[in-house]
Structure 1
Amino acid sequence: MSNVYRSKTMDQVSESDIGTEVKLAGWVENIRDHGGVSFVDLRDMYGVVQVVFRNTDLFKGIRKEQCLSVEGVITERDEETYNPKIATGTIELEVHKVDILGKVYRDLPFEITTSKDIREDVRLKYRYLDLRNQKVKENILFRSKVIRFLRNKMEDMGFTEIQTPILCASSPEGARDYIVPSRVHKGKFYALPQAPQQYKQLLMTAGFDKYYQIAPCFRDEDARADRSPGEFYQLDFEMSFATQEDVFKVGEEVLAETFKTFAPEGCAVTEAPFPVISYKQAMLEFGTDKPDLRNPLRIIDVTEFFQRCTFKPFHKKTVRAIRVHGDLSKGFHEKLLKFAQEMGMSGLGYLEVLEDLSYKGPIDKFIPEKMKKELAEIAGLSAGDTIFFIAAAEKLACKYAGQIRDELGRRMNLLEENAYRFCYINDFPMYEVNEETKEIGFTHNPFSMPQGGLEALKTKDPLDILAYQYDIVCNGVELSSGAVRNHDIEIMVKAFEIAGYDEETLKEKFGALYNAFQFGAPPHAGMAPGVDRMIMLLRNEENIREVIAFPMNSNAQDLMCSAPNEVTEKQLREAHIKVRD
C-alpha cells in the first residue's frame, strides 16, 4: 500500500527493506532521549517499529501518543540493541522527515501500555485510549476473527443470513424491555428486541429453511461478570423440519470447531457428541443447571438415609453429600465452614474415613453402627475420603451443595486445566410457581413445545410437564439457550392459558405468531450461543467487558459518551413524554 501518510504498515517492514526509503504512520508509544540521538517506538494496529532521530530539530515537540507520519531509511540495528520482543527488533527507521498528524494537547489520563491495571471507570471514560493498549486491542481483533469464522461456518452448513428488525413490539415475557417512544403514534412504544425470537419463527413459517444472524439483543438487566448490561450479541439460528437432536448436531459442530480453532494452544475441547444432562440430573449432581464439568466432584442424595438416622437437624430436610479424597487439615474445615455460613448455611457436617474404614467427625455418633456400612456403599467411601453433608429445604439444599462443590473444586485444585468442557442441559420444566404471586408461569421460553404436546397440557399437572428446551454450558458458563418451538396454534393457546393468558391476550401480544401459525407452520427449532461469552472464555477473561469495544459499566452507563443522558423538553414533547418526579 502507499498513500500520503504511509507506504507500509509496521508488519510489512522487514530486513528486506534495509537501505530503502519508507514512510510509516502511527502513535508514539515510547520515547528515549539520549541527548544527541533520540529513539521513538512508533505503533500502529499491526506492530511497532523503532524510529531514530539524529536531527534534534526533527525531535522537537514529540510527545507520547501523538499521531505521526515519519519518512526515512530502514537500517539494521547494532546487534547488541536487537529487541526480540517485537517482529521488527533487528531494524529501525532513521528519520529525515516528520509530520505531526494528531497533536496531544493534554496529559494522558494513564499510560497506554499499563491501562489494564487502571480502575475500570477511568478506562471506560477514555476507552479510545484504552483500546490502544495492545492486549485490549487484540481482544477486539480476535472477536472480529471469531465472528468471521462463525459466519463462514454457518454459510458452509447451508444457513442463510437474514437481519431482523431492531424496533419491534414489547413482550410481556422475559427480562425488562428497553422501550422507544413513537413520535408518530402518540402514547405508543416500540421495544428493542430481547432476541429475534418471533421474527425467526416467522421466517420458518415463511419457508426459509435455515436462518442465522449475528444478532444484537437488548435487555434492561443488571450487569454481571459474564453479562453485559444493555446489549449483547448472539449467533442466532433456526431450522425448519428439525428436532432437538438436529439442533444439537449443529451446535456441536459450530462450537467444537470454533473452540478448537481459537482456543489457546494445548487446550482440550469436548469432542462431539457433547454430554446431554437432564435439568433434574444437573440439579442433583451439580446443584446448578450450569455445571462446570472440569470439576470431577459429584453430589449425591442421602435424604432417605438420614431420615432413618437419629440426627435431628437432618430430619424432614433434603440432604445432599459430596465425597472428596485427600488429607484435609483442621484449618481447611474451618475455612470451608466459614464459607458455608457466609452463604447462609447454619453449619456443614462432615465425616472422615479412617484406615480401618471407621468414621471420625461431628456427626459420627448420630449414625447407628449397623447403618455405617450402608452409607459407605451409597457414597462409595474408602480410606482417606471425607464426605460433606448439606441439609436444607430442597431448593436451598440444591443451591448450597452446588456452591460447596464449586468451592471444594477450587480449594483442592481439582479443576481440569487447559480445557473447555461442554454439555447440553435439557428437559427443563415447562412451568414453575412464581414465588411472589404463587401463580403458575413459564419457566423459560414461552414459545417452547411441551413434551407430550396438547395431551400433556390437558392431562398432566403443569409442574410435571417438561419442555423441549435446552442450554449449552461450557466451564460453568451458559453459552446458549434454545428450544423446539411450539408451532401448533391449539397447543400454543393451551400453553398460554395455563400460564394465565387468555386467547385474546395471546392475539394482542403475539398476534403475528398467532396468525402465522394458522397458515401451515412447519415444525422448527433453534438456539443462540452468546458471542460475547464465547470470546470471553476463549480469551480467558474474567469480565465480559474486556471483549467488547465500547461496553457500558456495571451500572449500565456509557461513561465515555455520557449515556444515558437528559434530552430537551422539545424532544420529550415530540415523543409525547412527560417526566415525573
Structure 2
Amino acid sequence: MDQQAKSLEVQSVELTFPSGWRRSHDCGSLRLDHSGQNVVLMGWVQRRRDHGGLIFVDLRDREGITQIVFDPQADAAAHEAAHALRSEYVIAVQGTVRQRPEGMANPKLKTGDIEVLVYALKILNVAKTPPFLIEDDTEVSESVRLKYRYLDLRRPVMQAHLRLRHRAAFLTRNYFAERGFIEVETPVLTKSTPEGARDYLVPSRVNPGKFYALPQSPQLFKQLLMVAGLERYMQIVKCFRDEDLRADRQPEFTQLDLEMSFIEEEDIYELIEGWLSILFKDLLGLELSTPFLRLSYRDALNRYGTDRPDLRFGLELTDLTDLVKGCDFRVFREAVERGGLVKSLRLADGARLSRKDLDDLVHYAQEFGAKGMAWAKLQPDGWQSPIAKFLDPSLRDAIVDRMQGRPGDILFFMADHPTVVHETLGNVRTRLAQQLDLIPKGQYRFCWITHFPLLEWNPDEKRYVAVHHPFTSPLEEDMDFLESDPLKVRSRAYDLVLNGTEIGGGSIRIHREDVQKKIFGVLGIGDQEARDKFGFLLDALQYGAPPHGGIAFGFDRLIMLMTGATSIRDVIAFPKTQKATCLMSGAPSEPDVNQLLELCIRVDKEGR
C-alpha cells in the first residue's frame, strides 16, 4: 500500500488522545536502570525502519530520542498499525524498557543503551511529508525554514537555542532581583521622540490624526523611574526600530534594560561583569576573567581602527604619521599635510599572500572609501613593494623598526582622513583574521569602551547630533568646550564589546534641567521643540532628580554569541526577514478598508 493510501487509512481511525494514558517519561530520560518497567511515551516519529519482521521507530520529543520496537510476536495489532507510521506523525505508545541487543547500542543518544518494546500504539495525529528533514544538519534555505518556522523549531539545535535563552532570562531576573532591582513594565504605546532610528507609528482611533510610537527603548521612562525614587530598575523588554536590517538586527528585538540611582561608572562595570560571569559559568561552563579590559574610545580607534574591537587576535595598527611627514612619497606627504594620518598593519608571515590575494584586499579596502592601500613584503634582502622606490632606505628601516617587522612579514599602509584610515584598516584587520583562520575557537574576549565623544557633526543636517543619545552626561572636565569646541567634549558613555560585537551600551545620565537644556541647545533643539518633545522629562528634572545611570543589552545578540549562531534569527522563535516580513504569517499585510476608515487614514501607494 502506498503512502497516500496509508495516510487515508490512518485518517479513518479515531485520532484522539487515548483515555487513561498518561505519559510516564520523556524521550530522553530512559536508561538501563529502567529495564523491565512499563512506560508510556508520546512524541513525533523521527524515522521508521522496517526490517521485515521488526519495525523500528525513533520517537522524538523536546528531551531527546528513544528507539521503540514493534514485534509481531509481542503484539500483532501494534505491529500492523506501525506500518502506517510516517515522519512527524504524533503517536503514543505503551511498552516495556529493555536493553538493546549486544553490539546494537547507540553512544550518540542519551537513551542509546535501551529500547522500548511496544505492546500498544495510538496515532494521535497524522502529518504531511515535511518540506525538509527535522534534523540539525538538514540543508534547506532560510526562507523555507522561516515559512515553516513551527517545523524548523522542532529541530534539536533550535530548541537548544530557545532553552538556553530561557535559562539566561531566568538567571538574569534572579541575579538582579537579589541585588535590589525591581522589574517594572514601561509603556509600549508612547510618544514619538525622533532622535535616532525611525519610529514605528501606531494610529489612534479615539484621537483621529494622532499617533503613538512603539518604543525604541524605555530610556525616558526608566529615567523617570529614578526620579520616582525606585533607585534600581530592570526589565527584559521588547523594543522596536524601523531601520535597515542585518544579520544581528530585527525590527522588534529584546533588551535587558537597567537603571540605577546614586552610582558611578565603576558600579555599572562591576555589576555587569558579575552578571555575565554567572551566565557564562552556568550556561557554558566557562570562567570569565574579570575585571574586563577597558579602552577609551580614542585608544580603541588608534589600536584597532574601530570602537568594537575583536581582541581574540593581535594585528594592532601602528601610527607612522610623524615618521613619514615630509617624505618623498607624495601619497603619504599630502595626506599628512591635509591633517590626515598614515597608519600601518603588520601581518606576521604574511609574505605568503599571493599577488591576487593582495589585489583582492586592495579592492576590499576601497569599499570603505579608501583610494587604495599600499603594501610591502619584507624579504631578507629588503622590501618587495610598489612604493619602495619612493622611500629612502633609512625611512624604510625606521618603519620596519617601529612595526617590529621581520623577514616574511607583510606591511599594509593607509594614508587618508583619520575616519577613512581607521575604518579601512579596522575592516582589513578583521578580514585577514577570518581568511587566515587567526581567530581562536571557543574564546570570549570582553572589553569596555569608554569616554566616547558626546557629539558628532552631521553634514546633511548641518548640526551637531548626539553620538549615543541627548540624555548622556558630558565629562565634567570637558564642560567648558560645549560652546567653544563641542567636538572635544567627551561623554560618560560606555559600551561593552564581545568578540568584535557591541552587546550593550549605556551612560551616566544628565540629572539637572539646566544641563539638559544646554545640551539641547548645542544640538540645535530650541526651547519650544524641546518642550514639545521632552517637556515631561524637563519637568521631572525640576523635582529632585537623583544622579543616575544605566545600560541596555541586546539580549538576542548576546544569546546569538553564546550559542555560536550566525544570526539573531536563529535565537528568536518567530523572527522577521531582512525585509522586515514574516514569511510564516504573511505580516505585514494590507488592512481592511473599514479599519482605515475608522482610523481616518487613506493609503497612497504611489507616494504622492
TM-score interval w.r.t. the shorter chain?
Answer: over 0.9
Which of 33, 37, 47 is the matching residue for 2:50?
33
Aligned AA (2:373): L
Which of 88, 97, 101 is the matching residue for 1:74?
97
Structure 1: distance between partners of 2:455 and 2:565: 35
Aligned AA (2:298): K
SS of residue matched to 2:560: helix
Q: CA, structure 1 residues 458+35, in 2 after alignment: closer, same or farther (shift >3 Å)?
A: closer
Q: Is the 8 A contact 1:291 1:475 kept in 2?
A: yes
TM superposition score normalised by structure 2 = 0.90
Q: Is the 8 A contact 2:309 2:497 kept in 1?
A: yes
Match of 2:32 in 1: 15
Which of 269, 286, 297 is the matching residue for 1:248?
269
Match of 1:293 in 2: 311
Q: Does 1:45 align with 2:67?
A: no
C-alpha deviation, 1:5, in angstroms: 4.2
CA-to-aligned-CA distance 1:396-420 (integer Å, 9 cap, x gap) = 1111111121122233433233210
Q: Does 1:177 align with 2:199?
A: yes
TM superposition score normalised by structure 1 = 0.94
Q: Is the 8 A contact 1:268 1:420 kept in 2?
A: no
C-alpha deviation, 1:236, in angstroms: 0.9
Q: Does 1:559 align with 2:583?
A: yes
| Relative contact order higher in (CA < 8 Å, ≥ 6 apart) | 1
Match of 2:378 in 1: 353
Match of 1:420 in 2: 444
- When structure 1 is superposed on structure 2, of 116-125 and 149-158 the one drifting more is 149-158
Match of 2:209 in 1: 187
Off by >4 Å, runs of 4+ in structure 1: none
Structure 2: distance between partners of 1:108 and 1:370: 70
Q: Is the 8 A contact 1:268 1:418 kept in 2?
A: no
CA-to-aligned-CA distance 1:172-222 (integer Å, 9 cap, x gap) = 111111111111111111111111101110111110111111111111122
SS of residue matched to 1:52: strand
Aligned AA (1:329): R
Match of 2:242 in 1: 220
SS of residue matched to 1:470: strand
CA-to-aligned-CA distance 1:284-340 (integer Å, 9 cap, x gap) = 211111100112111122223222210112232221111222152251x43133122
CA-to-aligned-CA distance 1:202-251 (integer Å, 9 cap, x gap) = 11111011111111111112221222x21111211111001122111112
SS of residue matched to 1:79: coil
SS of residue matched to 2:28: helix
- When structure 1 is superposed on structure 2, of 158-167 and 407-416 the one drifting more is 407-416
Which of 263, 266, 276 is the matching residue for 2:294?
276
SS of residue matched to 1:285: helix
Q: Is the 8 A contact 1:297 1:324 kept in 2?
A: yes
Structure 2: distance between partners of 1:398 and 1:427: 18
Q: CA, structure 1 residues 343+384, in 2 after alignment: closer, same or farther (shift >3 Å)?
A: closer
Q: CA, structure 1 residues 370+95, in 2 after alignment: closer, same or farther (shift >3 Å)?
A: closer
CA-to-aligned-CA distance 1:99-139 (integer Å, 9 cap, x gap) = 221221x2211111157521000000101111111111111
Aligned length: 573
SS of residue matched to 1:402: helix
- When structure 1 is superposed on structure 2, of 374-383 and 458-467 the one drifting more is 374-383
Which of 237, 255, 258 is the matching residue for 2:258?
237
Q: Does 1:96 align with 2:119?
A: yes
C-alpha deviation, 1:458, in angstroms: 4.8
Aligned AA (1:239): M
Q: Is the 8 A contact 1:323 1:379 kept in 2?
A: yes
- When structure 1 is superposed on structure 2, of 122-131 and 504-513 the one drifting more is 504-513
Question: What is the Cα-based RMSD across aligned positions, in Å?
Answer: 2.0
Structure 2: distance between partners of 1:455 and 1:347: 39
Match of 1:364 in 2: 388
Q: CA, structure 1 residues 460+80, in 2 after alignment: closer, same or farther (shift >3 Å)?
A: same
Q: Does 1:516 align with 2:540?
A: yes
Q: CA, structure 1 residues 505+453, in 2 after alignment: closer, same or farther (shift >3 Å)?
A: farther
Q: Does 1:548 align with 2:572?
A: yes
Q: CA, structure 1 residues 571+439, in 2 after alignment: closer, same or farther (shift >3 Å)?
A: same
Match of 2:484 in 1: 460
Q: Is the 8 A contact 1:115 1:123 kept in 2?
A: no
C-alpha deviation, 1:38, in angstroms: 0.7
Match of 2:11 in 1: none
List aligned pairs for 1:369-408, cutoff 5 A.
369-408=393-432
Structure 1: any 5+ residue segments left out of the alignment? none
Which of 550, 553, 557 is the matching residue for 1:529?
553
C-alpha deviation, 1:343, in angstroms: 3.9
Q: Is the 8 A contact 2:351 2:378 kept in 1?
A: no
Structure 1: distance between partners of 2:423 and 2:599: 46
Match of 2:465 in 1: 441
Which of 462, 487, 498 is the matching residue for 2:522?
498
Q: Is the 8 A contact 2:200 2:213 kept in 1?
A: yes
C-alpha deviation, 1:499, in angstroms: 0.7
Q: Is the 8 A contact 1:79 1:90 kept in 2?
A: no
